[in-house]
């Protein structure tokens, strides 16, 4: 069971999420409607996970995102899942670039994903376990809308089609076993492809957080 703080300004969606999370076996310790309430709720009783919308009152800009970035500076281990109405890769890049993404799980999901209940709840569990999870639709957008002049884009262009498939699944928070099952290959093959990805993206082989760094390279290749 996860103790979750939920922030969503839509009363109907907030109530629906509370019910969904409760039925999924989790406890919603606070369900709030704006970013300031979110910060207060987390500081008052640190949860296992924060689930928040990007756009929150009063300005309906990126208040939810800025709130969790602020919270992560004070609670670096805090797992966070941000929900977005649309594919906004700049938000995803900002979230993953904020603080140290390897210390606590991070997720960026589209609200449409909530309707796929089992997949949504599984994504929350993966983030709570410390993984990085990016919505598959965001990953697909990143694969097709890169900034061709950026150094990260040029690095990604060195990847083979199979390596790009592996990187996309890594960006969804998949482990080697899950990637192997999805691509119908052996885990040894996945390890080999991952090693090639790390080499081609010039990632330090001694860094224990290379998967997150690879995802960041993937995001930064996008124009935002």
Query: What's the token pair of residue 168?
Result: 């996309």
User: Rounded to an integer, what is the distance from CA 123 to the centroid of its chain?
Assistant: 9
Domains of the chain: 3-134 (3.40.50.2300), 140-220 (1.10.10.10)
In the prediction, which pLDDT does 200 show?
86
Q: How far apart are CA 35 and CA 8, in angstroms?
A: 9
Compute the distance between CA of residue 167 and CA of residue 10 in angstroms, rounded to an integer: 34
Those residues whose C-beta lies under 8 Å from the C-beta of residue 100, and which sit 6 or more positions away, are: 76
Q: Please give the sequence-ordered ranges of beta strands (E in DSSP) within 114-209, or none if there are none.
A: 132-134
Note the pLDDT of residue 153.
65
Strands 132-134 and 106-110: parallel
What tens-digit pLDDT sequence spans the chain (224 residues)? 999 999 999 999 999 999 999 999 999 999 999 999 999 999 999 999 999 998 888 888 788 888 998 898 889 899 999 998 877 667 776 777 654 544 688 888 988 888 889 989 999 998 999 888 888 777 767 656 555 555 666 777 888 999 989 988 887 778 899 899 999 999 999 999 999 988 888 776 665 566 766 766 666 654 44
- Which strand ranges, in their side-by-side order, compose the sheet holding 3-7? 27-32, 3-7, 49-53, 80-84, 106-110, 132-134
Strand partners, 106: 80, 132
């Amino acid at each position: 069971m996860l103790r979750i703080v939920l922030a969503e300004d839509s009363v109907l969606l907030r109530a629906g999420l509370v019910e969904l999370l409760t039925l999924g076996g989790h406890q919603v310790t606070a369900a709030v409607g704006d970013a300031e309430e979110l910060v207060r709720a987390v500081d008052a009783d640190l949860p296992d996970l924060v689930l928040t919308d990007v756009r929150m009152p009063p300005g309906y800009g990126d208040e939810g995102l800025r709130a969790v970035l602020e919270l992560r500076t004070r609670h670096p281990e805090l797992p966070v899942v941000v929900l977005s109405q649309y594919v906004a890769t700049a938000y995803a890049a900002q979230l993953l670039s904020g603080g140290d993404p390897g210390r606590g799980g991070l997720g960026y999901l589209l609200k449409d994903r909530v309707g796929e209940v089992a997949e949504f709840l599984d994504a929350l569990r993966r983030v709570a376990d410390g993984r990085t999870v990016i919505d598959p639709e965001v990953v697909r957008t990143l694969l097709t809308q890169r900034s061709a002049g950026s150094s990260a884009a040029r690095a990604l262009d060195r990847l083979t089609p199979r390596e790009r498939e592996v990187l996309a699944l890594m960006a969804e928070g998949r482990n080697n076993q899950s990637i192997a099952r999805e691509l119908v290959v052996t885990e040894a093959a996945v390890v080999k492809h991952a090693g090639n990805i790390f080499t081609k993206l010039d990632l330090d082989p001694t860094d224990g957080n290379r998967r997150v760094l690879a995802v960041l390279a993937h995001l930064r290749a996008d124009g935002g």
